[in-house]
Amino acid sequence: MQKKYDKLSLGFIVGLLIPLIVFAISMYIGYKNSQQMQYLGKYLIHFTPKFLSLSVCANLLPFYVFLKTDRMASVRGVLTATFSLALFVLILFIIV
């Protein structure tokens, strides 16, 4: 019998949303001054891969929560999202 909240799609969505929320919060906290944002507007693309790669580490929390509660399909979804974001960050590092 499958456990509640044990779906690959749920893990994938959680694995994408948590790093993006952490990324948005870190960008807001780091650059909330409007003068800094105007200055960094054209250089922001250089900082984006670094902030995004750090925010992917936030996937450890749902990974361990799903792992400890024995929801393996959700764990696979979080890992899939993590590897997708890691590939995206690698592409950004190559482009920039």
* Domain locations along the chain: 8-95
Would you state the pLDDT for residue 41? 61
| Res 35: pLDDT | 66
CA–CA dist 64, 60 (Å, integer): 6
pLDDT at 83: 95
Average pLDDT, the chain: 85
The Cβ of residue 8 has, within 10 Å, a number of other Cβ atoms equal to 15
pLDDT higher than threshold 70 for residue 29 = yes
Task: Decide if 73 contacts 11 (C-beta within 8 A).
Answer: yes
Give the pTM.
0.82
Q: What are the DSSP calls for 26-90, one per residue? A: HHHHHT-SHHHHHHHTTTHHHHHHHHHHHHGGGGHHHHHHHHHTT-HHHHHHHHHHHHHHHHHHH
Would you say residue 40 has pLDDT above 80?
Answer: no
pLDDT score, position 24: 85
